[in-house]
């Protein structure tokens, strides 16, 4: 119970935190991406999007920046190349120092994980095309859940093509009309048009899928061993109480009543284990919530009720079956013989 709730609860809480962070930072109404992962958007779609009246279009490129830390370690960071003016209109980045407006071809935006986090300080980096340049720190972003990367201008993108467009509808412009034009352009060019909510949900599924699968495999192995231990414990415990069960039969209890008692006791054991495991999981999830708060990420703790229900139900079933089954086999012997048997 503790392991299942802690593992899956932590994963889902972090996924929710990332989704909350994305919803907070993305201020655009629509997000357009290429059909294939890592593919570039067709240039004609970018042109058609820019010609839609009443919108702000921010085209960005996926790139990378590498920095030499402490003179020994080359550390690469994912980066996005944006136009500062357009990006400021369609996003709300968690800036803790400086300003996104200060970004230009001679500067970059970093996050708090970098060694150099002083606005105005210069840092030597390698761009995606291998060029080594010295750029000034224009702004610093909070660490968050780790998705706050580096921002540079298109000139420092290493020749990367546009792979994402954020579109914000200006006040007074019909949102449905803009959506219709974007979808028409998307069908003609193969681009994928999504609302902010749809894009956030898709990003959450994509980021948490592999992690969740790996944790499920770990959890499955642990649950198999736990099931074996639970069954073995119940069989041994019931076998040691054969004489007690026989005394109940001699006192007038029917076989069905004795078996119901054994089953009820097994369920009680599972209930106690559930409460104790839930307390341990609650402490773990509280620690995760506290850690996210220190990173200035404010989202709710997600309790994996489905996983908890499945684990509790499976545990109760195993406990009852492997408690009642040996008791039923033992009660086939006459009560007097059982009560007189030596332990």
Q: What angle do CA 18, 23, 29 make, to 5 degrees?
A: 145
List, for residues 231-259, the tens digit of each pLDDT value: 998 888 888 887 777 788 788 888 888 88
216 or 122, which is more confident? Answer: 122
List, for residues 116-159, the tens digit of each pLDDT value: 889 999 999 999 998 999 999 999 998 877 767 899 999 999 88
Is residue 179 within 8 A of residue 86, CB to CB? The reply is no
List, for residues 283-324, the tens digit of each pLDDT value: 999 999 998 888 878 888 999 999 899 999 999 999 999 998
Task: Using CB atoms within 10 Å of the CB of residue 79, give its burial: 0 to 12 exposed, 13 to 18 middle, 19+ buried.
Answer: buried
Neighbours of 98 (CB within 10 A): 21
Is residue 165 within 8 A of residue 58, CB to CB? The reply is yes
Reported in sequence order, the residue ranges of 112-243 that DSSP labels E, i.e. its strands, are: 122-127, 132-141, 150-152, 162-169, 192-195
Closest CA to 62 of 154, 189, 193: 154
| Rg of the Cα atoms in the chain | 30
User: Which of 77-81, 88-92, 135-139 is predicted with the least confidence, judged by mean pLDDT?
Assistant: 88-92
């Amino acid at each position: 119970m503790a392991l299942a709730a802690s593992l899956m609860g932590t994963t889902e809480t972090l996924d929710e935190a990332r989704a909350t962070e994305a919803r907070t930072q993305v201020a655009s109404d629509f997000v357009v991406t290429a059909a294939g992962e890592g593919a570039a958007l067709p240039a004609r779609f970018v042109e058609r999007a820019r010609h839609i009246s009443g919108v702000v279009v921010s085209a960005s490129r996926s790139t990378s920046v590498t920095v030499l830390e402490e003179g020994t370690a080359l550390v690469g960071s994912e980066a996005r190349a944006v136009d500062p003016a357009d990006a400021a209109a369609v996003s709300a980045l968690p800036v803790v120092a400086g300003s996104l407006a200060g970004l230009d071809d001679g500067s970059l935006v970093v996050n708090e994980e970098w060694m150099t986090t002083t606005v105005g300080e210069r840092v030597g980096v390698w761009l995606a095309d291998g060029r080594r340049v010295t750029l000034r720190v224009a702004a610093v972003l909070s660490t968050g859940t780790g998705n706050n990367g580096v921002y540079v201008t298109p000139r420092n993108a290493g020749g990367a093509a546009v792979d994402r467009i954020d579109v914000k509808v200006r006040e007074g412009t019909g949102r449905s009309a803009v959506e219709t034009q974007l979808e028409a352009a998307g069908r003609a060019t193969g681009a994928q048009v999504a609302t902010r909510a749809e894009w956030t949900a898709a990003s959450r599924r994509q980021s948490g899928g592999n992690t969740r699968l790996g944790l499920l495999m770990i959890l499955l192995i642990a649950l198999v061993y736990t099931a074996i231990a639970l069954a073995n414990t119940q069989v041994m415990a019931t076998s040691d109480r054969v004489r007690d069960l026989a005394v109940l039969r001699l006192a007038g209890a029917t076989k069905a009543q004795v078996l119901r008692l054994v089953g009820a006791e097994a369920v009680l054991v599972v209930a106690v284990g559930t409460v104790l495991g839930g307390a341990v999981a609650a402490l773990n999830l509280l620690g995760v919530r506290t850690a996210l708060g220190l990173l200035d990420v404010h989202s709710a703790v997600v309790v994996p009720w489905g996983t908890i229900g499945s684990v509790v139900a499976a545990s109760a079933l195993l406990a009852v079956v492997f408690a009642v089954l040996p008791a039923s086999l033992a009660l086939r012997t006459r009560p007097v013989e059982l009560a007189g048997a030596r332990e």
